[in-house]
Chain A
Amino acid sequence: MNLLEVKHLKKHYDTHKAVDDVSFDIQQGSIFGLLGPNGAGKTTLLRMITGIFYPDEGQIIFNGQKFNPENDVQYIGYMPEERGLYKKMKVGEQTLYLAQLKGLSRKEAVQKIQYWFDKFDINSWYNKRVDELSKGMQQKVQFISTVLHQPRLLILDEPFSGLDPINSNLIKQEIFNLSQQGTTIIFSTHRMEQVEEICDHIMLINKGHKILDGSVKQIQQDFKQGLFKVGLGTMPNPAQMATYHFNIVQTHDKAFTVKMNEDSSTNDILLHFIRQDISVTYFEEILPSINEVFITQVQQTENSNAPVAALPLA
């Protein structure tokens, strides 16, 4: 079941189209990665999903019904990239206040705060003022205040920026936990290694347009280039390597990266080595990283979108 369906969403500013006809669905309980370079329209898109902005055109369906910001914000937790807390307020009061604004009763809020403060082992911070905490500590408090009301949709914009590896891991673990409990998560970033690790599904946008969208595995399959790495017992002499089935792209120490011809199969490659009596120690497919897909796709759209600017002035 889809928790969120976005249909032909558009948002224009005076001078440019921040989001131009973007559609996608997010399955309940999945972790959805929203990727794009700076200024791609990610924040505008998220602000529309959180009810901060109204779309110019298009529709947002939340939990099977037309999105109603007034009521639905209580089911959404949003940690914006530009985050902050009231600096002079005490940590406990602050989380209580933010939880109550999300519709929790005082009693519920206190219970939930206790649960999370125990979990992160930060009970001693309760009466500290926010500006007495380090940036990383503030980030933890921010995360807690985002998830306190058990949102059905959790939106995290660059959740790991400014966190050390230990705290990054802690938050990452919580993201997985929440996802297992059925929370749907939108995860916006431009750190690709995290995307491959965390997300089930990704969408890439640039200049307000959706460029691609699919599961991480599917995208890697779609963009693979027939590259394989073959580990060898002994390095053959070049004469032994003449074949129709593949070209050597790169030579390593006791290994080759090869590009397979389109009408050949992996067994053709293996057979070649076996016939030459070269022992194969390992054989693996090289899938493109999301990072590579991201860069090539962004570059392609940049070029196709701005052909005029690319022409020489002569």
Chain B
Amino acid sequence: MEKIWLIIKREFFTRVRKKSFLITTILVPLAFAAMIIVPILLSTSSSEHKLIAVVDKSGLFENKFPDSKGVYFKYVQNQPIDSLKLHYSDLGYEGVLYIPEFDINRPSGFEFYSSGQASITIENSINKDINSIIEKKRMQLQGIEPSKMDEIRSDVEVTFKNGKDEKKGSSWVSYGVGYASGFIIYFVLLLFGTSVMRGVMEEKVSRIAEVMISSVKPFQLMMGKIVGIAAVGLLQFFIWGIFITAIYSLIPLFFSPESMQAAAAQGNPAQTAEMVHRMREVIGSINWSLLVPCFVLYFLGGYLFYSALYAAIGSLVNEDASDVQQLTIPVTVPIIIGIMIMMKAVQDPGSPLAVWGSIIPFTSPMVMMARLPYGVPGTVPYWQLILSFVCLIGGFLGTTWLAGRIYRTGILMYGKKITLKEAMKWVVRKP
């Protein structure tokens, strides 16, 4: 037991002291934070003013385009479109919108000129605006008052509540959280699994394996490595957790009342406040006290399940690194199937595929994490959760046993190329 502790310590510290650990641990959350914050900051404090020239031959659109999000429209009547097309950028315009005279029943010939591809937001908003203006015009022609129409229009949003305590929920939030956690599990399984495999290969190729095996049992060496690398992963999650909570609590600082007002100046102040409020409500609607422990357990279970197999594969590889690709296929394929089932499960968490995918240990860490945000015991009954755990524990006991038996022989085999078929024979043979 003391020996395995020494091995765990070595595996842990040699990795944690590496520069690459520091870089990934600190840069990854910063990159995530930047991905969230930068676009928000850009959109709120955007000082860019895009001016678009509108040449309206129909006369229907004069001063009807609403200015928003830094995009302004200027109506140019007395310039021929051909010269404007050539010189708009010299005149300070981002682009030119050309509206021909048209038949109200068959509108066509609308054109937009710009130097580059128009951004998708501009394209969408111009299309929407033109259509709504035409719709209003048509309504007038049919004798419907636009104000009447506003009275008729309905904008109901159903509030989805779930569970006995009638928590407010949103399938979009469950979808997002489920997708993200399933994906993170997929990512860490591959990442840490290959890390274990590389560690084993290093020991084999540098020929220290036999020296080690003369002091410790092969199983101790393998488990020490697996546990040591798991500890590295947990430390990383822990640091990321702190980062994320820190950033989350810092968000109100970024969006001080002033900046909120500045943002509101361009849009609807009530809307922005509502959005921030809803975001908080949404984050509060997730059952974090269930999700976080489950995430850690599924990470550990899935990791133990797969890393043992990766260790066994690592023990089969000789100097020829091209063997790796071929040998890892049987381990990598189930993980990829898992991520594919996860993508289905996150859309339809009650389907038989999702249910069985979340119970079978090959895919359960990913698939169950995708289903859990939809609610326990609402979407995932307790029996499924417990069965899934039991299968996963049984599964990793099985894979570590199997892997241990392959590993102890493989780690000392040099020279010839080893096939998986041969390796399976070692499972039943005495060492």
Contact = CB atoms under 8 A, between A and B. Distances in A.
Interface of A: 14, 47, 50-54, 56, 70, 73, 76, 78-80, 82-89, 97-98, 100-102, 142, 145
20 contacts: A14-B425, A50-B214, A52-B214, A56-B430, A73-B214, A78-B214, A80-B207, A82-B207, A82-B414, A83-B210, A84-B206, A86-B203, A87-B206, A97-B10, A100-B6, A101-B3, A101-B6, A101-B7, A101-B215, A101-B216
A97 B430 contact: no
Nearest to B215: A101
Contacts of B3: 101
Contacts of B33: none
With most chain A CB atoms within 10 A of its CB, the pick from B203, B208, B425, B431 is B208
B211 A78 contact: yes
A131 to B, nearest CB: 9
DSSP majority for the A interface? loop
Contacts, number: 64
B8 to A, nearest CB: 12
A80 B211 contact: yes
B212 interface: yes
A125 B3 CA distance: 26
B121 interface: no
Nearest to A51: B214
B206 A85 contact: yes
A82 B210 contact: yes
B248 to A, nearest CB: 38
Interface string B171-202: 00000000000000000000000000000001
Contacts of A101: 3, 6-7, 212, 215-216
Given A51-B214, A101-B212, 9 more contacts: A47-B412, A52-B210, A78-B211, A82-B210, A83-B207, A83-B208, A85-B211, A86-B208, A97-B6
Contacts of B10: 97
Interface of B: 3, 6-7, 10, 14, 202-203, 206-217, 412, 414, 425, 430-431
A56 B429 CA distance: 11
Contact of A98 (B207, B215, B217, B425): B215
A145 B208 CA distance: 12
A73 B14 contact: no
Contact of B208 (A54, A56, A84, A102): A84
B383 to A, nearest CB: 42
Given A84-B208, A86-B208, A88-B14, A52 B213 contact: yes
A280 B14 CA distance: 72
DSSP majority for the B interface? helix
Contacts of B206: 84-87
A128 B217 CA distance: 29
Contact of A80 (B14, B210, B216, B425): B210
A181 to B, nearest CB: 21
Given A97-B6, A101-B6, A84 B211 contact: yes
Contacts of B207: 80, 82-84
A83 B431 CA distance: 21
A143 to B, nearest CB: 12
A300 to B, nearest CB: 29
A54 B216 contact: no
A50 B10 CA distance: 24
A304 B207 CA distance: 36
Nearest to B412: A52
Contacts of B414: 82
A15 B414 CA distance: 17
A309 to B, nearest CB: 23
A-B interface, 9 closest residue pairs, ranked by CB to CB distance from nearest:
A84-B207, A78-B214, A84-B208, A101-B215, A80-B210, A84-B206, A82-B207, A50-B214, A52-B213
Given A53-B431, A56-B430, A85 B215 contact: no
A152 to B, nearest CB: 14
Contact of A85 (B7, B208, B213, B412): B208
A312 to B, nearest CB: 31
A97 B212 CA distance: 10
A80 B215 contact: no
A73 B215 contact: yes
A89 B14 contact: yes
A196 to B, nearest CB: 28
A76 B214 contact: yes
A102 B211 contact: no
A267 B349 CA distance: 103
Contacts of A102: 215
B378 to A, nearest CB: 50
With most chain A CB atoms within 10 A of its CB, the pick from B6, B211, B217, B430 is B211
Contacts of B211: 78-80, 83-85, 98, 142, 145
A276 B3 CA distance: 77
Contacts of B212: 101
A138 to B, nearest CB: 10
B232 to A, nearest CB: 16
Nearest to A79: B211
Nearest to B216: A101
With most chain B CB atoms within 10 A of its CB, the pick from A56, A78, A145 is A78
A52 B206 CA distance: 18
A109 to B, nearest CB: 11
A82 B414 CA distance: 9
A82 B430 CA distance: 22
Given A83-B207, A84-B206, A87-B206, A54 B431 contact: yes
Contacts of A51: 214
Nearest to B429: A14
Contacts of A85: 206, 208, 211
A25 B202 CA distance: 37
With most chain A CB atoms within 10 A of its CB, the pick from B214, B425, B431 is B214
A97 B6 CA distance: 8
A233 to B, nearest CB: 59
A126 B202 CA distance: 22
Contacts of B214: 50-52, 73, 76, 78, 80
A76 B202 CA distance: 25
Contacts of A56: 430
